[in-house]
Amino acid sequence: MRSETVQAFVLSSIDYGESDRIVSLLTLEHGRIKGFARGAKKSIKRFGGGLDLLTRMELQLQCKTGLSTVQQSVIRSTFPGIRSNLSRIALALYSAELLDILTPEGQPLPRLFRLFTAWLERLESSEESQSQLSQDRRFFEINLLNILGYRPAIEHCSGCGEEYDQRGALVQSDGELICHNCSRLGRKISRETLSSLQRSLKTGSFGMVTYTPNILAQVSVLLDEAVAHHTGRTIKSLPFLQQSGCI
């Protein structure tokens, strides 16, 4: 089997035996894959610490179904700015875990790779406030769900298909939205909030759409429900994220 060079991020990593490591990778070329790196914990020449969590790198590997073989890594960035700030590392770890849980294995998703790249670069270089970081988190989540085909129906009612009227929509327990004519149950989402989410999908840049405190609160309710429904399990990094203040 021929080797190839891919661009990748390490989403998660576990030690295997005394010297090997199994990593979950988000690659530009193949989407999310798992790789086995023999001697990763001891071979500085071949890996040099390049399989640490959240590292961006170029990998030489043999890609195959199940478990690819990682042969060598070249570090492109370890994101030291993220690692030096509690809130930023919490956001980065949470986002990586979402990708690890939600992304289908072996399916190339270049838009998702670019979104995650932009998100980490934003966390690395910006000097935004805690409030702005919370908005950026929600911007990442709605775009992530959109790329994966999981986002709530923010243009039309998921029940009857009609456009939402001035009353907005209602959030259901599965994170979906329905109109007031289909149900009277659920947390209210205003038309203004729906419009803000639509704008978040139309722009490709963080910080271009600003959520007021009220809109951010409604967006948070909606996305928390949607993420919880689609992950279907406890997100281990969520308590750390909440403790950091980026809720």
- Give the burial class of 137: count Cβ atoms within 10 A of its Cβ; 0-12 exposed, 13-18 middle, 19 or more buried: buried
Q: Are residues 32 and 107 in the same domain?
A: no
pLDDT above 70: residue 50 = no
Final residue of a domain: which of 78, 93, 109? Answer: 78
pLDDT bin (cut points 50, 70, 90) of residue 45 is: low
pLDDT above 80: residue 43 = no
Q: Are residues 135 and 236 in the same domain?
A: yes
Q: Are residues 74 and 86 in the same domain?
A: no
In this prediction, residue 122 carries a pLDDT of: 95
pLDDT above 80: residue 128 = no
Q: Are residues 129 and 202 in the same domain?
A: yes
Quick: pLDDT tens for 203-247: 879 989 999 999 999 999 999 999 999 999 999 999 999 888 766
Q: What is the pTM of this model?
A: 0.93
Q: Are residues 48 and 130 in the same domain?
A: no
Task: Please state, as a whole number, how many other Cβ atoms lie within 10 Å of the Cβ of residue 188.
Answer: 13
In angstroms, how far is the first alpha carbon of the chain from the final one? 46
| Number of structural domains found in the chain | 2
At 137 the three-state DSSP class reads helix
The domain that holds 95 is classified in CATH as 1.20.1440.120
In this prediction, residue 136 carries a pLDDT of: 95
Cα separation, 186 vs 122, in Å, equals: 34
Q: What number is the average pLDDT over the span 131-157?
A: 95
Q: What number is the average pLDDT over the span 64-82?
A: 90
The domain that holds 54 is classified in CATH as 2.40.50.140
Q: Are residues 103 and 90 in the same domain?
A: yes
Average pLDDT, the chain: 92
Q: Are residues 29 and 129 in the same domain?
A: no
Q: What number is the average pLDDT over the span 28-32?
A: 96
Q: Are residues 128 and 176 in the same domain?
A: yes
Final residue of a domain: which of 78, 94, 118? Answer: 78
Report H helices in the chain: 80-83, 86-102, 110-125, 130-148, 191-202, 213-231, 238-244
Residue 16: what residue type? Y
Q: Are residues 36 and 148 in the same domain?
A: no
Final residue of a domain: which of 78, 99, 131? Answer: 78
Q: Are residues 122 and 136 in the same domain?
A: yes
Which domain, by its residues, includes 19? 4-78
Q: Are residues 87 and 71 in the same domain?
A: no
